[in-house]
Structure 1
Amino acid sequence: MDWSTLNGMQQKLLRETILSAYTDPLEFNMFLAAELNKPALATIAAGATFEQQIFSLIVKAKAQGWTQSLVEALQRDRPDNPLVKNLPDAVRMTGTEQPRTAGHAQLSLEKIVRGGGFAQLREFSQKLAMIGEAVCRIEAPAGTPMGTGILVAPDLVVTNYHVVQQHIESRANLPEIACRFDYASDASGVADGVAIGLTTAGDWTIGSSPYDPAADTRGTGLPKDDCLDFAILKLSTPFGGERKPLSLSPTAAGIDQNLPVLIVQHPKGAPMSLAIGASLGLNENGSRLRYDTDTLPGSSGSAVFNQQLELMALHHAGDPSAVTRAAYNQGIPIAKIVAALRQREQDFQSKGIPKFWIS
């Protein structure tokens, strides 16, 4: 949004947000110096009280064109403050409300609760359809479900290491693995889709990273940095331009707690399904994104999305200490996988494999 065009009510929201995040001028002066390289508040903004000085500061920032920098710094310094977190959506809503007219009270019942923002319905449905074409069921042998995979290049699919672990560790030259696309149901019934095997020309897996047995299966300690539980499979036949791979991007950061998490998956090998839950945040070392979205055996290797349908994680496991009802499910942040792929870029180039992630 354009922070340089705030109206009076929007400036009031910004002022109240700053006052909720900083309790006194000294605390705010530390923020100005550290985040914006600005002098003390009293030297750049007039006013007898802290609130008056903040009012003057916002007016000056708007006039000098650094309101956006102020808001971005505020979100960096106070990310857990609820008013700071919801500020963009609150400002947008205030900008769409009709002004009060003389003699008429204005009633506004709509409020921001989660702060997840809004998705354009038609664009959302189009993205979801594209995602459906990129998700596949991993089978071994063909017809026997093992997990879920994601098309990330015309001829490459990413899934969990543990889904194909037996084939990788036995060094099978001609694996029986197949990737079944378009296995889904609609009003007309279940479509069997199309199963595509893996390449027989060279390596059928071009890169992998194991899971952490202690952390991921026994709940002991934190996962090691080099245990990301992924495998990149090479298809025997690449897809043409009609089927779009999903992007692996390091900018896909974790999802704030309580915001929606969507997983497209093949639970128990069933036709493609969508489950919706909420984020529980990252674990202690940022190696796993946790959420309460439902999964089942066969969901390993599924695509995890935020509310804007950006690929955020590769689902791989649930709470290892759960006996009946799990406390969480978890996935590998895409940014971690991209970092691992970046380290192997020269090796990929030497094997003639084009870059298939976003730097």
Structure 2
Amino acid sequence: MKQALIHREELNDVVNSMEQIQQDALHRYLAFEKERKAEDQAVALQEKMITRSSIINQHDNLAVERIINKSDLFPIAYLQAGLDVSKAVCRIAIRGRTGQLEGYGTGFLVAPNLLLTNNHVLETAESAMYAVAEFNYQDDVDFMPLEVISFRLDPDLLFMTDKALDFTLVAIEPNNSNAVAISDFGYLPLLPKPGKILEGEYVSIIQHPNGGPKAITIRENEVKFISSDFVQYVSDTEPGSSGSPVFNDQWMVVALHHAGIPDPNDNKVWIANEGIRISSIIQYVGEKRSSLEKEASRKQVDQLLAVVMPGTMAPPMEVGVLDANWYADATGYDRVFLGSRFTVPLPTLSDTMMEDVAKTADGNVVLDYTHFSIAMSKSRRLAFFTAVNIDGNQLIDVKRSNDRWYFDPRIDQAYQLGNEFYKSNDIDRGHLVRRRDPNWGIDAVRANEHTFHFTNSSPQHKNFNQKVWLDLEDYLLDNARDYNMKVSLFTGPVFGDSDRVYRGAQIPNQFWKVAVMVKDGEKMSATAYLQTQEDLIGGDLEFVYGQFETYQVPITKIEKLTGLDFGELRQADPLAKGQVARVQKSGDLSL
């Protein structure tokens, strides 16, 4: 009898806690509604639209139309994409110490073996110890149930929860008792940067309503209000839906569903629903990572943060590997970017360079990223060249909020000069494709992250990277922005036999750029620049000589120094006729 009373008290506590969550959500809803009537958001709307469009895949031509014009048109692949992401969503069976079923919730995988749900679903590590995650609890196209595959949770490895944000992050066993791998169900990468959804857009929720088979609410789920930590939307959910992922039209998780909002005049009627913003959850996790006692727990959090795209908080890891999905849609440098009449192909590698180029498993000699491409030298572990397209009319200011760099998994890590080389000295990981250059259009955020690859870095003395080289980069980008120009820009180091050896690698003495654009819509212009950091590299890598000059040189000079062949660009070079190279002070460049 005493045990039954304790159990009843625990259930009453859960009910009271849920009612409090709902009342808190209602207060926020009413406050948002009052504030909305009083404010004019016209000024902020354009900035929000730019941020929102920057994370839409460039191949989704209907996405912006859906946002602006409320179009319900979707590519048919949208349905398949939804089915794919649903694999990572599970029903959580909540059980007591004796194994008695107490209720259901929903959860989803956010890393190879990490599960996210609500705090009020799994409030303590003990409750997680007895709970079971059930995948495939759904019907097939013939309305026949699939085989349910269950996994135990592992709160001893990691259990992180917060009542205010109503989330719980818990580890899950890598293999169940039948040797089924949790990796078979994939996971939903979390994008912490705000701007994944706008008020007036629609969300979809994959859930287990009332603990029943997996279901989805799709469309007609309008986002009403967005605050710093919460998203409120009109949608159909039921008890058991707590802990469900809330998606935008690109199937990115934008929130963790946690509560319905009752009508203030009738608590049996629901007027909206509320979720916790993913950006808030990820920021919390990143901030609490260092306070975890176990190293194994910290590694689990690092695993989560390594597959997400860093946002406003500084992640604890400096080095990571991006998930393969980050490279799937990268089209790289576009040779007809300046127009079909002005094709600008990649420079050609010499036979010697071809023997030294780092190839992918598919035999490709060029690595494609978002709006840029790179060819790598195996022996130098640096790029032969980079090539980027810059659209001055669509540039977006994506703020630099982290300094995590990535190895590219498509080539052997041994061919990439990693982080150890740059520690405890005055050598910067100099971006060859400048971080801001490819940040334009709807894929600006992805392009920004792609620039943080070791394939795109080269050793540059801090006074060269942050002063000399930066002035040239600023000049080129500012002109593209100010005049709404399109520019195709090639960059790379000069590999010389006399380059200083340091920590097992050679530091290039010189760096070059070739900028290509169309003037007055009729004539292609290609200008080359060569800069040196030789006088900045002393015996102890300290600053030696502070004066610098920028040299504009013929493209043929770059070809001779590097072994690259720029083909017909030589004819578009104003110095092609052999004029003496102009030596110009920084800030006095001309194209």
Scaled to the shorter chain, the TM-score interval is 0.5 to 0.7
Contact 1:205 1:231 in 2 (8 A): no
User: How far apart are 1:77 and its partner, in Å?
Assistant: 7.5
User: How far apart are 1:190 and its partner, in Å?
Assistant: 1.5
Q: Which structure is higher in strand share?
A: 2
1:336-351 to structure 2, matched below 5 A, reads 336-347=280-291, 350-351=294-295
- 2:270 pairs, out of 326, 347, 351, with 326
Distance across 1 between alignment mates of 2:174 and 2:185: 13
1:56-95 to structure 2, matched below 5 A, reads 78-80=43-45
Distance across 2 between alignment mates of 1:270 and 1:173: 21
Contact 1:254 1:281 in 2 (8 A): no
Q: In the alignment, is residue 292 of structure 1 matched against residue 234 of structure 2?
A: yes
Deviations along 1:191-212, one digit per CA (max 9) or x if unpaired, are 242111122xx616521101xx
**One-letter amino acid of the structure 1 residue matched with residue 274 of structure 2:** Q
SS of the equivalent of 1:344 reads helix
Q: In the alignment, is residue 126 of structure 1 matched against residue 84 of structure 2?
A: no
Distance across 2 between alignment mates of 1:206 and 1:240: 18
Q: In the alignment, is residue 234 of structure 1 matched against residue 171 of structure 2?
A: yes
Distance across 1 between alignment mates of 2:128 and 2:239: 25
Contact 1:147 1:163 in 2 (8 A): yes
SS of the equivalent of 1:328 reads strand
Partner of 1:196: 151
- 2:249 pairs, out of 274, 295, 307, with 307
1:263–1:173 Cα change, 3 Å: closer
1:113–1:245 Cα change, 3 Å: closer
1:235–1:113 Cα change, 3 Å: closer
Deviations along 1:312-345, one digit per CA (max 9) or x if unpaired, are 0000001154513222100000000010011022
SS of the equivalent of 1:190 reads coil
Aligned-residue Cα RMSD (Å) equals: 3.3
Distance across 1 between alignment mates of 2:259 and 2:139: 25
Unaligned runs of 5+ in 1: 1-75, 89-95, 97-109, 211-226
**One-letter amino acid of the structure 2 residue matched with residue 163 of structure 1:** V
Distance across 2 between alignment mates of 1:308 and 1:288: 20
**One-letter amino acid of the structure 1 residue matched with residue 215 of structure 2:** S
**One-letter amino acid of the structure 1 residue matched with residue 187 of structure 2:** P
Distance across 2 between alignment mates of 1:253 and 1:339: 15
Deviations along 1:99-141, one digit per CA (max 9) or x if unpaired, are xxxxxxxxxxx9986446864322x233212211100001023
Partner of 2:201: 259
Distance across 2 between alignment mates of 1:111 and 1:308: 11
Q: In the alignment, is residue 161 of structure 1 matched against residue 119 of structure 2?
A: yes
User: How far apart are 1:243 and its partner, in Å?
Assistant: 2.7
**One-letter amino acid of the structure 1 residue matched with residue 129 of structure 2:** P
**One-letter amino acid of the structure 2 residue matched with residue 282 of structure 1:** I
Distance across 1 between alignment mates of 2:188 and 2:235: 21
Partner of 2:92: 138
Partner of 1:149: 107
Identity %: 28
Contact 2:234 2:272 in 1 (8 A): yes
Distance across 2 between alignment mates of 1:274 and 1:186: 14
**One-letter amino acid of the structure 2 residue matched with residue 266 of structure 1:** H
Q: In the alignment, is residue 184 of structure 1 matched against residue 138 of structure 2?
A: yes
SS of the equivalent of 1:280 reads strand
Distance across 1 between alignment mates of 2:135 and 2:233: 26
- 2:159 pairs, out of 183, 201, 206, with 206
Distance across 2 between alignment mates of 1:113 and 1:334: 24
**One-letter amino acid of the structure 2 residue matched with residue 194 of structure 1:** I
SS of the equivalent of 2:283 reads helix
**Count of matched residue positions in the alignment of Structure 1 and Structure 2:** 237
TM-score scaled to structure 2, two decimals?
Answer: 0.37
Distance across 1 between alignment mates of 2:111 and 2:192: 16
Deviations along 1:290-329, one digit per CA (max 9) or x if unpaired, are 0001111000000001111111000000115451322210
SS of the equivalent of 1:268 reads helix
Distance across 2 between alignment mates of 1:112 and 1:164: 35
User: How far apart are 1:241 and its partner, in Å?
Assistant: 4.5
TM-score scaled to structure 1, two decimals?
Answer: 0.58
Contact 2:188 2:253 in 1 (8 A): yes
**One-letter amino acid of the structure 1 residue matched with residue 120 of structure 2:** H
Between 1:146-155 and 1:322-331, the stretch displaced more is 322-331
Between 1:229-238 and 1:131-140, the stretch displaced more is 229-238
Partner of 1:172: 126
Distance across 2 between alignment mates of 1:191 and 1:157: 21
User: How far apart are 1:174 and its partner, in Å?
Assistant: 7.7
Distance across 1 between alignment mates of 2:245 and 2:80: 17
Distance across 2 between alignment mates of 1:314 and 1:346: 24
Unaligned runs of 5+ in 2: 1-40, 54-60, 176-180, 311-591
Distance across 2 between alignment mates of 1:116 and 1:305: 17
Structure having greater relative contact order (Cα 8 Å, sep ≥ 6): 1
Contact 2:207 2:214 in 1 (8 A): yes
Deviations along 1:45-97, one digit per CA (max 9) or x if unpaired, are xxxxxxxxxxxxxxxxxxxxxxxxxxxxxxx973447xx89xx8xxxxxxx9x
Deviations along 1:152-177, one digit per CA (max 9) or x if unpaired, are 12211110000122xx1xx5288210
SS of the equivalent of 1:325 reads strand
Q: Which structure is higher in helix share?
A: 1
Between 1:110-119 and 1:184-193, the stretch displaced more is 110-119
Distance across 1 between alignment mates of 2:147 and 2:253: 25
User: How far apart are 1:257 and its partner, in Å?
Assistant: 2.1
1:313–1:126 Cα change, 3 Å: same
Contact 2:190 2:252 in 1 (8 A): no
